[in-house]
């Protein structure tokens, strides 16, 4: 394949990640208006976010495995089609339950995008250094989507209402389908794994029970039967999953993977980075609209620096990783997110807006520095013919972080909220902001673990040439 052809494949694959980035911030900006128009509180709005991320995290690994077996291009196109159709359905949702359900459909399509596009890049760019640079551009596309999402979301919410943010994904999805049909070649793994349905059911049960328990606990109480039942189901699902995967020849999640330091460390970094990013977006949106009283159109502008930094810094971090390893960018990113959490915890009703904007920008800096190194290091820990499964596990870690980050941030805020959002949100959110510092520290630990391990043999010597 020529250099031009590889570049075109990268453009096509990056389009889907750009679409995913847009979807994250464009919906978050619309949450306050969705809550007002549908009379939904914080817990209900958490589910609008987590219905998406929960399904996404649950099916990413299966999607990668199916792509390795049945063809990456084929599965990728199916995912784009389902995602686009789900977006159109969300715009027509008559109530919060329907909106959550359609978000789950949208996520089912989304689960076939990120890991499969990463697997396509893995198969297209065979040189490790070139793949690292391609990964940086690929993750930078997500930052571009994050950057456009707040501005587009704020404009759409102000101009046509929250339903417009879902319609915006339809032409983007259609464009991605056309690009993929024209540019993306078909590829398969030489030795694909068979689908592990038992493992898939247990992973879904584990994630659903855990997220439900965290979201519902502030209102129902940690000692209530539904919450205790959810936590028991979660623990039982973990035990059954470990037992089942140990006795399968081709498990959904291979227990041997956790003996790989680059994989374990990178998965922890990916989880923590997305938890921090989405916690910050979720809480900042409510602070700006309900505490600061800013209109949705302005919210997009204030969040823009955080998102825009990922566009510029992600390729830089990827190039540095290709030549000098992942430790320094991961450590710098972890320190940035830790500092941002401390800054955000000082927010109050009278805090200047510039403080929030600056702290969010620091979160975006930390995320940009760690995302590409984590993806490149984790995928490089796998054999080449398991690229789809590898990318699926890395993406699942990110989306699990996103789901749990929003669930935890929303739950601790709801538990501390007394009175209206406008009067009590600033003090109630302080615990949620401080949790972001914990994610920063976890990134530091994960980065040190990932950098100390031995990668897949082809990456021991990295050439700087494509």
Q: What is the mean pLDDT of residues 4-19?
A: 82
Q: What is the tens place of the pLDDT at every residue in 398-420? A: 777 877 888 888 888 888 777 66
Q: What is the pLDDT of residues 61-108, one digit of tens each?
A: 778 778 877 888 899 899 999 999 999 999 999 988 899 899 999 989
Indicate left, alpha or beta for 325 from its phi (over 0: left) and psi (-120 to 50: alpha).
left
- At 332 the pLDDT is 93
pLDDT tens, residue by residue, 338-387: 999 999 998 887 888 899 999 999 998 998 898 878 877 776 666 655 55
Say what the pLDDT of residue 155 is.
Answer: 82
Contact (CB, 8 A) for 87 and 173: yes
The predicted structure's pLDDT at residue 390: 61
pLDDT for position 387: 54
Q: Which two tokens stand for residue 73?
A: 């291009």
The whole-model pTM stands at 0.74
Residue 276 has pLDDT above 90, yes or no: yes
Res. 426: pLDDT tops 70: yes
User: For residue 336, what pLDDT is reported?
Assistant: 96
Alpha-carbon radius of gyration of the chain: 21
pLDDT tens for each residue of 106-139 = 989 988 887 788 778 877 887 777 877 787 787 7
Among the residues of 380-429, which ranges form H helices? 387-416, 421-428
CA nearest 287: which of 337, 365, 367, 351?
351
DSSP state of 71: -
pLDDT at 454: 54
User: How far apart, in Å, do the first and last CA atoms of the chain sit?
Assistant: 13
């Amino acid at each position: 394949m020529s250099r031009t052809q590889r570049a075109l494949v990268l453009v096509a694959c990056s389009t889907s990640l750009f679409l995913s980035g847009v979807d994250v911030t464009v919906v978050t900006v619309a949450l306050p208006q969705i809550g007002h128009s549908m009379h939904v509180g914080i817990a209900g709005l958490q589910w609008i976010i987590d219905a998406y991320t929960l399904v996404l995290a649950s099916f990413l690994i299966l999607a990668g495995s199916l792509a390795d077996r049945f063809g990456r291009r084929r599965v990728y196109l199916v995912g784009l089609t389902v995602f686009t159709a789900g977006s159109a359905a969300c715009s027509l949702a008559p109530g919060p339950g329907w909106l959550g359900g359609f978000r789950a459909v949208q996520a089912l399509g989304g689960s076939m995008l990120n890991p499969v596009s990463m697997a396509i890049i893995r198969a297209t760019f065979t040189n490790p250094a070139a793949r690292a640079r391609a990964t940086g551009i690929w993750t930078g596309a997500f930052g571009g989507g994050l950057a456009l999402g707040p501005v587009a979301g704020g404009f759409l919410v102000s101009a046509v209402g929250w339903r417009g943010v879902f319609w915006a994904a339809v032409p983007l999805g259609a464009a991605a389908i056309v690009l993929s049909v024209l540019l993306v070649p078909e590829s398969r793994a030489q030795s694909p794994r068979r689908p592990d349905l038992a493992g898939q059911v247990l992973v879904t049960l584990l994630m659903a029970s855990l997220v439900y328990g965290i979201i519902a606990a502030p209102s129902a109480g940690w000692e209530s039967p539904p919450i205790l039942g959810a936590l028991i189901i979660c623990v039982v699902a973990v035990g059954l999953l470990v037992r089942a995967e140990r006795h399968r020849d081709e498990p959904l999640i291979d227990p041997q993977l956790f003996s790989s330091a680059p994989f374990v460390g990178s998965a922890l970094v990916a989880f923590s980075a997305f938890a921090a990013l989405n916690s910050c977006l979720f809480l900042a949106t409510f602070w700006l609209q309900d505490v600061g009283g800013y209109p949705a159109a302005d919210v997009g502008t204030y969040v823009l620096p955080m998102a825009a930094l990922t566009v510029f810094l992600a390729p830089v971090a990827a190039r540095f990783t290709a030549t000098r390893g992942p430790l320094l960018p991961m450590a710098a990113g972890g320190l940035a997110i830790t500092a941002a959490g401390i800054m955000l915890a000082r927010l109050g009703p009278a805090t200047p807006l510039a403080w929030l904007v600056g702290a969010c920008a620091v979160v975006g800096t930390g995320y940009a520095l760690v995302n590409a190194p984590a993806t490149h290091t984790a995928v490089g820990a796998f054999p080449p013919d398991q690229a789809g499964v590898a990318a699926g596990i890395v993406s699942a870690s990110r989306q699990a972080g996103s789901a749990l980050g929003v669930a935890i941030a929303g739950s601790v805020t709801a538990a501390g909220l007394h009175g209206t959002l406008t009067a009590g949100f600033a003090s109630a959110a302080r615990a949620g902001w401080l949790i972001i510092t914990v994610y920063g520290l976890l990134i530091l630990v994960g980065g040190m673990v990932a950098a100390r391990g031995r990668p897949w043999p082809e990456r021991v010597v990295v050439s700087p040439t494509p």
